[in-house]
Amino acid sequence: MMPEEIEDHAGESAREILKTIAEPARVAVVLGSGLGGLADRLADRVVLPYAMIPHFPRPTVEGHKGLLVSGSVGGVPVLVLQGRFHYYEGYGLDEVTFPVRVLQRLGVRTLILTAATGGIALSLRAGSIVCLEDHLNLIGANPLRGPNDRRLGERFPDMSEVYSSRLRTIAFEEAGKLGLDLASGVYACLPGPSYETPAEIRMLRTLGADVVGMSTVPEAIVARHGGLEVLALAVVTNAAAGVSGGLISHAEVVEAGQAATPLVGALIEGVVQRLEAGAW
């Protein structure tokens, strides 16, 4: 996709979505590996398969369904992307981040990203939830590379606060109410699909990373370019390579993501309700 096509394609996708979902929510949630069950918690669900939306890629990974779900949590409308696209699937970063452009076009203002991650910080355990405070983009590419379409955002967007401190404060307050020990950390994004080696994890720790994953960062960069406010919640599904000595499998990642789904769901519900209560 050429950069100048993104806006047109996103417009066409948005128009199609609006035929089914007349009034899209202002807050959207992207669900990571194993976290798809969060979409089942929505009330008043309207489901639109990605296959029905023009220009939308199709997810190829187990644990990622490919559904746009409109609904509400605690009476508050949300749009949920159940299934995301990854660079390692072979998609370009423009395709990986295309759904974010569509959300931008639909008027979404707040984006909540979720992800399965490996825990690098020794204080983290499988099941820990980490609110991202910053990231390291180690994909080796940037979704904004190429001619800049000023309708989408500016050429050199600031990245000094990708993850909104306002939303992080709300997340910590809501976690406190739930008795949830929410951690704060830096996410290192690698291209994958192989998991890291123990030497790579030692390198990432030296660089200041607390968790590692293969998603989230391209979407966060594009969301900031498009003026959306971003909150990202990472579920630690496994100790990163070499941290605990065990091997890492996708099945374990999906299972641990599923186990954390109720807690992450409760946290998102709390955050979304605060937004609706006037914190926009």
119/270 with CB nearer ligand HPA:
119
Q: Are 258 and 37 in contact (CB under 8 A)?
A: yes
Please provide the size of the chain in residues.
Answer: 280
Cα→Cα distances 92→95, 145, 162, 207, 223, Å:
5, 11, 21, 26, 16
Task: Give the SS3 label for residue 48.
Answer: strand
Q: In the numeric block, which tokens belong to residue 92?
A: 């370009």
CA–CA separation, 32 and 112 (whole Å):
11
- Residue 103 binds ligand HPA, judged by CB under 6 A: no
Q: Which of 36, 195, 200, 222 binds ligand HPA (CB under 6 A)?
A: 195
Find, among 213, 190, 250, the residue nearest to 64 by Cα.
250
Q: Which of 38, 80, 93, 253 binds ligand HPA (CB under 6 A)?
A: 253
**C-beta of 255: minimal distance to ligand HPA in Å?**
11
107/246 with CB nearer ligand HPA:
246
Q: Which of 233, 248, 267, 272 binds ligand HPA (CB under 6 A)?
A: 248
Q: Strand 129-137 to strand 110-119: parallel, antiparallel, or no bridges (unpaired)?
A: unpaired
- Residue 73 binds ligand HPA, judged by CB under 6 A: no
Binding residues for ligand HPA, total number by CB under 6 A: 13
List binders of ligand HPA among 201-240 (CB under 6 A).
212-214, 237-238, 240
Q: Which of 104, 110, 117, 261 binds ligand HPA (CB under 6 A)?
A: 117
Q: Which residues are known to be catalytic? A: 33, 64, 86, 88-89, 116, 214-215, 238, 250
253/260 with CB nearer ligand HPA:
253
Which secondary structure element, helix H or strand E, spans residue 237, and what is its range?
Answer: strand 229-239
**C-beta of 128: minimal distance to ligand HPA in Å?**
12
Find, among 208, 254, 251, 207, the residue nearest to 235 by Cα.
254
Chain contacts with ligand HPA (rule: CB under 6 A): 116-118, 195-196, 212-214, 237-238, 240, 248, 253
